[in-house]
Amino acid sequence: MLSTQAAVVANRLGSVIDGKLVRTKISTPLGSMIAVADDAALFLLEFENRVALTGELRRLERNFGLIGSGGNTVLEMLISQLDDYFAGESADFQIPTTQHGTVFEESVWRALRQIPLGQTRSYGDIAEVIGQPAKSREVGQANGANKISLVVPCHRVIGSDGSLVGYGGGIWRKKWLLDHERRYAWTSFEHS
């Protein structure tokens, strides 16, 4: 028998999909990314060499069936917005997303999307924002469980001492992304 929390997640997983999931590979200056979406929302955006990617794809297939290759409107929007992001033209990701986690994880992911471009927050800062000030460690775990890199900007979360820690795409990518965003935060992106 499923726990109450697992049953809630399973129910959400079973009722979300509008159409067939498709995946595509997207080239970026930081390496290839894999994106998975249906006709309504983005389910996953991860760097291709992330160790956890295979497991994430299996989980999606277990819950939604086989993932086809190809494209759809959501993926076309994503590619266009990623091109703008990496060109320094816009960081305004207006992609509908679907992530399935615990209530706590989902509150963390919502808070991540509120971190302003060119800025960072500590795990403790996010814990405060979501009203759970004693749960900075759990915020770190939820941050690591984010499956929609860049769009849900988990790379903007740093250690309490300002150090770059804990990014599934690699610390070198986290540094690159933060430098990129700081470079454009007060110029091109502010007009998005």
* pLDDT tens sequence across 52-101: 999 999 999 999 999 999 999 999 999 999 999 999 998 889 999 999 89
Facing residues of 157 across strands?
121
pLDDT in tens, 124-151: 999 999 999 999 999 999 999 999 999 9
For residue 90, what pLDDT is reported? 87
In a domain, 93, yes or no: no
Strand partners for 36? 23, 44
Neighbours of 22 (CB within 10 A): 18
Name beta bridge partners: 46. 34
What is the domain range of residue 36?
A: 22-87
Indicate whether 75 and 147 sit together in one domain: no
pLDDT computed for residue 166 by the predictor: 85
Q: Is 158 a catalytic residue?
A: no
Residues 187 and 110 in one domain: yes
**Residue in this structure with the two tokens 């277990």, named with its chain if needed:** 62
74 shares a domain with 110: no
Identify whether 153 is part of a domain: yes
Which of 87, 120, 141 marks a domain boundary? Answer: 87
Domain count, the chain: 2
The pTM for the full model equals 0.84
Burial 39-59 (b: 16+ CB within 10 A, else e): eebbbbbbbeebeebeebbee
> Taken in order 40, 38, 58, 167, is the CA torsion positive or negative?
negative
Cα gap 73→56, rounded to integer Å: 22
Residue 23 confidence (pLDDT) above 50: yes
Percent residues over pLDDT 90 in the chain: 78
Task: Considering the candidates 36, 95, 154, 177, report the single residue annotated as catalytic.
Answer: 154
